[in-house]
Structure 1
Amino acid sequence: MSVAVEIAVQDLVGLEIAALAGADRVELCVGLERGGITPPAELVAEAAERAAALVSVRDARPQFDVHVLLRTRASTGDFLGRPEEFVHDAEEIALLAAQAAEVVEAGAAGVVLGALTPAGELDVPALTTIRDAALGAAQSAMRGLTLTEHRAVDALPDLPAREEAVRTLLGLGFHRVLSSGGAARALDGAADLAGMVRAGEELIDICAGAGIRPADIAELVRTTGVADVHLSARRRPGSAVEADAPDTPTDPAIVAAAVDAAGAL
């Protein structure tokens, strides 16, 4: 089967590493060490331009593009089972909608968003508002847009809730759901990820992300049926860095190994 590799990056150097290694796309954010927040539109524009340039000279896959994380705040704490991390008031929803339009206007090929209610359910009105802002900007630019729900679904209480979320997101026109299956590591959430894949009925992609190492990819795909994997591919703290290594947290060796592992399936 064909397995797509998405790399989370926070700078142009990381984007280039992902592209040159053969990744399928990047998720662009800033503050990657805290889980990521929305990057500035200027960075999105630069990233989209650089991605297009790499594709044009065949230094990237033909479909390589930039998806942008929409998140106004993040913390280093564990959000599993804590939907309040993704509960947004009216002011934050308006900000996220404005950011969605702004990054799409800047060239994003996709947006990654999420919102929950205090009761631990998808906040459909909030998602609809942000979605519509992004789609409106894409329509004005006369191009398509990929919609991805981020790991807010991992803060839901159990597999039935995540399965229902998948079906709801499909009805809202989303194309992909990023999830660890409600676990700290996607490999530990394999059973839930498999359930989400079944719930999607091949109509919406489930992208496995969180704590994935290249060596995990074959088993993860085999046990869950996911068609996408997501890695931050960051250098390990304290690891040796070559004198001429690029100034970015993205580790070229990890990205290359992940692409090779996915390509072998």
Structure 2
Amino acid sequence: MSPAVEIAVEDLAGLEVAALAGADRIELCQDLDLGGTTPAPELVEQAVRRARELVAARDAKPHLDVHVLIRPRASSADFLGRPAEFAADADAIERMVDQAAAVVDAGAAGVVLGVLTEAGELDLPALEAVRDSALLAAQRAGRGLTLTLHRAVDAMPSREARVAAVQAAIGLGIHRVLSSGGQARALDGADDLSAMVDAAEDLVEICAGGGVRPADVVDLVRRSGVGSVHLSARRRPGAPVEPDAPETLTDPAIVAAAVDAAGEL
């Protein structure tokens, strides 16, 4: 089976572009320049509604759904080796708990979460609190929910720490781990990603994300064995824009190229 292609977007126009170009999954967030923060529940509700409309009209893949990042703050997109970027005090944890419930109430099919200690280990009590809040909201709505552990794992100090995080994710009931293998570009972290895939034992999906370009997809998947790839597919500065193109940074040509590359596998 070809790897799934997940596109990170921060607006409805970006969702439409990604869906029409063949994306399998959407991660909705804000502040992509900083690595992403949680969008407003109103935007989540609008995005879920639009995704359903596109699926109903057969303009998107039938399994297209919207997953939402749970991260209340971000100070820099350069978080490699900086676990403090994902550490949270009691107030931040409470905010994430509330955000997780709110986005699931708004219709999100999944939440993307991650909390570390200052030492760079998974903050298990915090993760459990956010997880439980999201799952309770899904239970109230009578539907399932997908849980993804995000690139906080790339701020960890070593491959061994990321492998341990994958093993912990299994115990937490997490379905997917998003990682670049601790590198700025997932292709450069392919060996770490491969170790994470082995540790997952097919119980958790490893999704490669971080500096992924369409030209990387085939080599990245073959070297690492990941089940999906994640990219923002943002238009490069100065790239030509068609007169009737929607106002979004999501580039349909980049999405389509990533989807085509994944289809070769």
Q: TM-score range by the shorter chain?
A: over 0.9
Q: Which residue number in structure 2 is paired with residue 213 of structure 1?
A: 213
Does the Cα contact within 8 Å between 2:4 and 2:24 map onto a contact in 1? yes
**Superposed structure 1 runs of 4+ greater than 4 Å apart:** none
Residue range with higher mean Cα deviation, 191-200 or 240-249: 240-249
Q: CA deviation at 1:242?
A: 2.0
- TM (norm. structure 1) is 0.99
Give the 3-state SS of the residue equivalent to 1:33 in structure 2. helix
Residue range with higher mean Cα deviation, 158-167 or 72-81: 72-81
Q: CA deviation at 1:55?
A: 1.0
Q: CA deviation at 1:75?
A: 2.5
Q: Which residue number in structure 2 is paired with residue 180 of structure 1?
A: 180
Q: How does 1:162-177 map to 2 (within 5 A)?
A: 162-177=162-177
Q: Which residue number in structure 1 is paired with residue 160 of structure 2?
A: 160
The percent of aligned pairs where both chains have the same amino acid is 68
Distance, in Å, in 2 between the alignment partners of 1:148 and 1:29 is 14
Pairing 1:241–2:204 present:
no
Q: Which residue number in structure 2 is paired with residue 19 of structure 1?
A: 19
Q: Which residue number in structure 2 is paired with residue 229 of structure 1?
A: 229
Q: CA deviation at 1:77?
A: 4.4
- 1:89 partner letter: D
Distance, in Å, in 2 between the alignment partners of 1:46 and 1:236 is 27
Give the 3-state SS of the residue equivalent to 2:63 in structure 1. coil
Distance, in Å, in 1 between the alignment partners of 2:49 and 2:78 is 34
Could you list the per-position Cα deviations for residues 177-202 of structure 1 after superposition, in whole angstroms to 9, with x for gaps in the alignment?
00000000000001100000000011
Distance, in Å, in 2 between the alignment partners of 1:134 and 1:229 is 24
Q: Which residue number in structure 2 is paired with residue 99 of structure 1?
A: 99
The aligned length equals 265
Q: CA deviation at 1:59?
A: 1.1
Residue range with higher mean Cα deviation, 13-22 or 122-131: 13-22
Q: Which residue number in structure 2 is paired with residue 48 of structure 1?
A: 48
Could you list the per-position Cα deviations for residues 40-95 of structure 1 after superposition, in whole angstroms to 9, with x for gaps in the alignment?
00000000011111111211111100000011111234111110000000000000
Q: Which residue number in structure 1 is paired with residue 129 of structure 2?
A: 129
Q: Which residue number in structure 1 is paired with residue 86 of structure 2?
A: 86
- TM (norm. structure 2) is 0.99
Q: Which runs of 5+ in 2 are unaligned?
A: none
Q: Which runs of 5+ in 1 are unaligned?
A: none
Does the Cα contact within 8 Å between 2:170 and 2:204 map onto a contact in 1? yes
Residue range with higher mean Cα deviation, 26-35 or 4-13: 26-35
Distance, in Å, in 2 between the alignment partners of 1:39 and 1:173 is 24
C-alpha RMSD of the superposition: 0.8
Give the 3-state SS of the residue equivalent to 1:233 in structure 2. coil
- 2:128 partner letter: T
